[in-house]
Homo-oligomer: A and B are copies of this chain.
Amino acid sequence: MNINEFLSDRSKLMKASEIRELLKWVTENVISFGGGMPDPSSFPAKEIMEVTKDVLTTKAEKALQYGTTGGVLELKEELTKFMDKVGIKVDGPENIIITVGSQEALDIVGRLFINPGDYVITESPTYLAALQAFRIYGPRIIGVPMDEYGIKVDVLEGVIKKVIEDGGKLKFIYVVPTGQNPTGITMSMERRKALLEIASRYDLLIIEDDPYGYIYFGDEEPPMRLKAMDSEGRVIYLSTFSKIAAPGLRLGWVAASDEVIKWFELAKQSIDLHTSTLNQYIAAELLRRGVIERNIPRIKEIYRTKRDLMLQALNEYMPEGVTWTKPSAGMFIWLTTPKKIDTGEMLGTAIKKYGVAYVPGKSFYPNEDRHNDMRLNFTYPTPQADF
């Protein structure tokens, strides 16, 4: 039988992540700056083991059973306290839903808000997997360029006006304000205020994707979360345990108005009923016992050191005409070569001849044709080559 005859039109919008495809090339004797994985030495494995034992001793009947779509109450209560410490105030558990990583939250954002043809704005470049998640739902995505302070708010406002003039329906602005993937840029406070002000003026939703905010390792005070400054219930806040505990747990969360959370629950119910109950109880205990809070300074230290090492090596070895970002958060440095270089074409040589991998920048752009950037991950590779 020919399966192609059965596929939906939607399926034709699905594209394998180029990153995942490229990384298949990477063998053991290649130094890979390509992935986006945390340093495994930062995982609190021993504590997770202890906590799991306690959870299964004291509440196996609950932790192994079906749970509610919204998530385990204890975890949502702990998250309320956890977010409170960074200035995000929510009324209670009804403002939180637990998801299978932030990725699921991105899919639900697309599912709930995007009609085919609707407009969506992102930073340019932006997180590739967000583009993948949204694209299935058929939006028109407009990328707004960034500088070292984050998204250019003047350009943003121009784009919004143009969409409105053209009679388009603009649904949301998606941003990764702190340690952005792929650029490592952290949006300044000034820009954050301007962004909120614009969203308010034009009555738009903001999706704040914050995987890296809790492990900000810059020298200056970290800027406030957009959600912490949101007085109008306009910000839908996404975060994850993948960078503060371990990605293998597949736990993320969304904080928003209770009305928005109810819609998220409705959407999630038909996607996977609920997130692993066992993993949710584990995470609740990791928060309650302070394991995560004690682990965060350690993660920051590892990432700061590795970032410094990569910046130092770039300074030392990169030729004239190459520039790169100096991130205060996140896992990536964004490197720009002279225009004549196509980093996509260069990758084969980099891997086969020089034993080094990276991700070509092209696919992070929603609608610009730029081929001379690359994303470098500094959190996963070891400081010394292992071979």
Contact = CB atoms under 8 A, between A and B. Distances in A.
A356 interface: no
Given A171-B6, A248-B63, A248-B65, A267 B11 contact: yes
Contact of A266 (B16, B67, B277): B16
A115 B9 contact: yes
Interface residues of A, number: 86
A32 B57 CA distance: 26
Given A65-B247, A270-B133, A273-B101, A259 B3 contact: yes
A64 interface: yes
A18 to B, nearest CB: 12
Contact of A250 (B7, B36, B263, B276): B276
Contacts of A115: 8-10
A100 interface: yes
Nearest to A111: B10
Contact of A271 (B48, B67, B68, B107): B107
Interface string A257-287: 1011001001101111111111100000000
B129 A270 contact: yes
A39 to B, nearest CB: 10
A126 interface: no
A69 interface: yes
A266 B257 CA distance: 32
A66 interface: yes
B6 A113 contact: yes
A172 interface: yes
Contact of A132 (B53, B111, B269, B279): B269
A67 B20 CA distance: 11
A10 B136 CA distance: 13
25 contacts: A6-B112, A6-B172, A8-B114, A10-B112, A10-B137, A11-B113, A11-B266, A14-B266, A14-B269, A16-B266, A17-B269, A37-B66, A40-B61, A45-B64, A52-B56, A65-B248, A100-B250, A100-B275, A107-B271, A107-B272, A129-B270, A132-B270, A133-B270, A248-B278, A250-B273
